[in-house]
Amino acid sequence: QYLSLSWNSLGGPVDRLLTRLNHLNYLDLSLNHFTGTIPGRLFTFPITTLQLQRNLFSGHVEPINHVSIATVDLSYNKLSGPVSPFLSTVQNLYLNNNGFSGRVPACFVQRLLSANIQILYLQHNYLTGIEINPTAEIPLSSSLCLQYNCMVPPVQTPCPLKAGRQKTRPPQQCNQLRG
């Protein structure tokens, strides 16, 4: 039910590893060298925690349906493309330090303001916007970090110290992405 393979030198795609792991409650593959895309079916596993941070995963993240996993950490990979609205049902979501681009879907804002999302870390990506009223009050039980993207964060929220001090990404980096 509990599998942690973190801090190893495991590599390659995770497809074969996942063929017999459908009875897990917790999966931690962080701090390895896994590559390729993250299989969409992985998000359908009946687990409470999915830790895939600090690998070499790339491509788009495309869950098959709304994700019912409470904590999903995909930070510090090479993931790209839009942020899937199917991830808005995650309570603690770490997408920081990747290459996500485009606008953050409105469903994230709705769930954040209703305190259904406790952690939403989107910093250090190439996101271009989020529809949130600058006067919106984010619940005290929730944490949102948007800094260092291709937008001026519409709300000032406390970010973790390791997120750095810069609020926005330099324009030339954002222009390179569009060009």
pLDDT in tens, 113-141: 999 999 999 999 999 999 998 888 999 99
pLDDT of residue 177: 65
Look at residue 155 and tell me whether its pLDDT is greater than 60.
yes
Is residue 6 included in any domain, yes or no?
Answer: yes
Percent of the chain with pLDDT over 70: 97
Is residue 62 included in any domain, yes or no?
Answer: yes
pLDDT of residue 88: 98
Rounded-to-integer distance, Cα 95 and Cα 87, Å: 10
How many other C-beta atoms are found inside a 10 Å radius of the C-beta of residue 171?
A: 9
Is residue 109 included in any domain, yes or no?
Answer: yes
Is residue 14 included in any domain, yes or no?
Answer: yes
Rounded-to-integer distance, Cα 72 and Cα 113, Å: 19
Range with the largest mean pLDDT of 3-12, 150-159, 165-174:
3-12
Is residue 74 included in any domain, yes or no?
Answer: yes
Task: Give pTM, 2 decimals.
Answer: 0.95
Is residue 179 included in any domain, yes or no?
Answer: no
Looking at 9-13, 85-89, 152-156, which range is the least confident one?
152-156
Look up the CATH number of the domain holding residue 145: 3.80.10.10
> In which domain, by residue range, is 104 found?
2-173
Averaged pLDDT score across all residues of the chain = 93
Longest dimension (CA), the chain: 48
Burial grade of 32 (CB within 10 A; 0-12, 13-18, 19 or more): buried
Look at residue 87 and tell me whether its pLDDT is greater than 70.
yes
Is residue 178 included in any domain, yes or no?
Answer: no
Into how many domains does the chain fold?
Answer: 1
* Among the listed residues 109, 121, 118, 101, the one whose alpha carbon sits nearest the alpha carbon of residue 53: 121
Pair of tokens at residue 10: 């495991």
Is residue 150 included in any domain, yes or no?
Answer: yes
The contacts of residue 57 (CB under 8 Å, 6+ apart) are 34, 35, 36, 37, 38, 74, 77, 78, 79
